[in-house]
Amino acid sequence: MAVLTIVEDERALAHEGAERFTAIVREAVRGRGRAIVSLTGGSTPRKMYEALARDAAQVPWQDVHLFWGDERAVPPDHKDSNYGMARDALIAHVPIPGEHVHRMRGELPADEAAGRYEEELTGTFDLMLLGLGEDAHIASIFPGSAVLEERTRRTAAPWAAHLNAYRITLTPPALLDARRILMLVSGQKKADAVKAAIEAPLDPRQWPAQLLREAGDRVEWLMDRAAAQALSSPRA
């Protein structure tokens, strides 16, 4: 059963998220000498990344490897780049070795970028950070996507017709191959998707975030009150 943690608002979410990130990374470095982390894109994590940057000394960045759960098919300096957002909010401000930053090459043809990333992945993640779309998508695994059926490859380059764009994304086998999965969710707009992901009858084709049920208590839903408001039995 996933852990549900509900905090007051966006600011508390960023603070709690940074605390969780720091604790999980430290534990991994203590136990395995390094931490392999997958970052999420979208707008929700920015404040958390900025909080980590402000308190950089708390994290052993020289032992951290950063990957991404998904990327838009754009160059790294494009306004929509998930890598670009994380670079500006976090990476540019912390002492992480350049070769430890494993970005998806959104500037390349999507299937080529996915193929290259498949080679670069290094096994089990210590921390998988994910956001949630209003349609309950995670990474770039959208409702009805063929990526939902993927059982062997760890990356894919789906065409997102509703966005009229390709995406590069980790697949379910890769997303679930993580010791800890932290869902970061904020705002009233996500309330229905949160309820569907956690409480609705199982149908991941309709609600991709339900895939996370397979990971049981390795998953923590860290969300603010607005995002949790539709849950039938609010906790905490």
List residues binding ligand 6PG (CB under 6 A). Answer: 40-44, 69-70, 82, 131-133, 137-139
CB closer to ligand 6PG out of 63 and 212 = 212
At 165, the amino acid letter reads A
Whose tokens are 């998953």? That residue is 219
CB closer to ligand 6PG out of 25 and 141 = 141
β-strand partners of 129: 182
Phi, psi values for residue 55, rounded to 5°: -120, 45
Q: What angle do CA 157, 158, 162 make, to 5 degrees?
A: 145
Q: How far is the CB of 201 from ligand 6PG (least distance, A)?
A: 23
CB closer to ligand 6PG out of 25 and 132 = 132
Q: How far is the CB of 44 from ligand 6PG (least distance, A)?
A: 3
E strands within the chain?
3-7, 35-39, 64-68, 70-72, 127-130, 155-156, 159-160, 165-170, 181-185, 219-224
Q: How far is the C-alpha of 236 from the C-alpha of 16, rounded, in Å?
A: 14
β-strand partners of 183: 130, 221
Q: How far is the CB of 190 from ligand 6PG (least distance, A)?
A: 7
Q: How far is the C-alpha of 117 from the C-alpha of 141, rounded, in Å?
A: 17
CB closer to ligand 6PG out of 29 and 108 = 108
Q: How far is the C-alpha of 144 from the C-alpha of 122, rounded, in Å?
A: 28
CB closer to ligand 6PG out of 63 and 172 = 172
Q: How far is the CB of 135 from ligand 6PG (least distance, A)?
A: 9
Q: How far is the CB of 62 from ligand 6PG (least distance, A)?
A: 26
